[in-house]
Chain A
Amino acid sequence: MTAKSLVTIKGVKDGLVFLLDDQSDFDNLLRDLRDKLEHTPHFFNGPIVYVDVKLGARSVNDEQKTEILDVLRQRGNLLIRSLQSDDESKQQETGYQIHTITGMIRSGQVLRYEGNLLFLGDVNPGGMIVSTGDIVVCGALRGTAHAGVDGEVNAVIVASLFAPTQLRIADVISRPPDEWGIAQTHMEYAYVHNGQMQIDKVSHLHRIRQDLKMFKGV
């Protein structure tokens, strides 16, 4: 073998990491992987070893994944723990994205955004803030907020000062009860539960939104 191998095997504390080249042709890669396993028999005949497979920048479909796994499974002592490409791991790290906009939304003005929106400023009565995802207002929400405008019923509306004219999430519309004061001292959020608008303290947000990363202490 003159060419550099497409498969690099590294030993880590609790197993092996297979680094698969991400530039080469997929068939060549498979052949190389098979070669590697067959030509170093002594290495793979011991006790059970955990294996993590890293695909680099290569993205694979389910069929190709199965092919890689099949090759590895020929060795009975290899227990595959994970198979991941950079794409996926990056996606997992930055799963929730929120866009920040500052300013002031006055009566008659509408701020529209596609995605999750963090608005630093006030939304005045008669003003409107609309997004396809969540809406977080760091400031006073006195106007109307419409989260999940394309039908995302799991969207939430959060505001430092919660005194909205009207709240809308997906197609659920709600108006705050008349007796609401503005004497609150905590930040609140609105969400839809069984088709009804509900309000809760922002510290309880994790109860309904497991997709957000939660801080659990150290």
Chain B
Amino acid sequence: MGEAIVVTSGKGGVGKTTTSANLGTALALLGKKVCMVDTDIGLRNLDVVMGLENRIIYDICDVADGRCRLNQALVKDKRFDELYMLPAAQTKDKLAVSPEQVKDIVLELKKEFEYIIIDCPAGIEQGFKNAIAGADHAIVVTTPENAAVRDADRIVGLLESANLSSPKLVVNRIRPNMVKSGDMLDIDDILQVLNIDLIGIVPDDEFVIKAANSGEPTVMNPDSKAAIAYRNIARRILGDTVPLMPLHQKKGMMTKMKKFFGMG
């Protein structure tokens, strides 16, 4: 039986889809059999970020309504044989599937895959309920902004009341220089409010934008700081103890990268 992890945030634009795509790819890179599920029906993006848009034939709604078998809807990644994606429908809305239907689909996927990464839409309505229905664990993504932290807190509360306790936190798009100068919330401020376990810090990296536009997940580029951060998170998901990347020391970064490749 595999493990289903929902990637959620409450607020839009903090990097849920980027995180889903990169964690999925990073887990595949580590040799795991992974399926990513896009539950953002009507505003699907995961396929675009993964560069798989033109391979979609069926989607999650077709599976839910029985228009196709689950296997028919799965899109195989172009880089990894063990990485698949179940796309959302673009022409419908969140009400097109019910939490029970998503739960059944995820349960089915868990039989075949080691990890299911569920990309959650923004908001706390039906789309969110769909996304968390089949999940065993949750990763909450936030950025170092008060609004994002506020929404993350709301989401953590909702996850706790849905019995998805002890969600893990990813702080995305941190800018070490701004944190140093006191212009950006630092990790401790965020953790003090949210009071959940930190699973990773992803530095702001222009390469992420470039990668998303070219349909090539960031983790594929070993020179990107964000890629290293995502790979580290994937290893922490597997249960490895990986220390947090030091944000300020350039030298430490390089050593860490070398060490990573030595091990990987």
Contacts and interface: CB of A to CB of B under 8 A. Distances in A.
A122 B157 CA distance: 13
Nearest to B192: A140
B195 A126 contact: no
Interface stretch (B37-45, B112-120, B148-156): B148-156
B187 interface: no
Interface in A118-148: 122, 124-127, 140, 142
B65 to A, nearest CB: 33
B157 A108 contact: yes
B179 interface: no
Contact of B154 (A104, A122, A126, A142): A126
Interface string B154-171: 101110100000000000
A125 B150 CA distance: 7
Nearest to A143: B153
A109 to B, nearest CB: 5
Interface residues of A, number: 12
Contacts of A127: 153, 157
A124 B152 CA distance: 11
A36 interface: no
A106 interface: yes
A143 to B, nearest CB: 10
A125 B192 CA distance: 12
A112 to B, nearest CB: 16
A108 B146 CA distance: 15
Contacts of B157: 106-109, 127
Contact of B195 (A109, A122, A125): A122
B154 A108 contact: yes
Nearest to A140: B192
B209 interface: no
Contact of A107 (B150, B160, B192): B150
B193 interface: yes
B154 A107 contact: yes
Nearest to B160: A106
B160 to A, nearest CB: 8
A103 to B, nearest CB: 10
B195 A142 contact: no
Contacts of A106: 153-154, 156-157, 160
Interface of B: 146, 150-151, 153-154, 156-158, 160, 192-193, 195
Q: Which 9 A-B pairs rank lowest in CB-CB distance, beginning with the nearest?
A: A106-B157, A107-B154, A107-B153, A108-B154, A106-B153, A124-B153, A109-B157, A107-B150, A126-B150
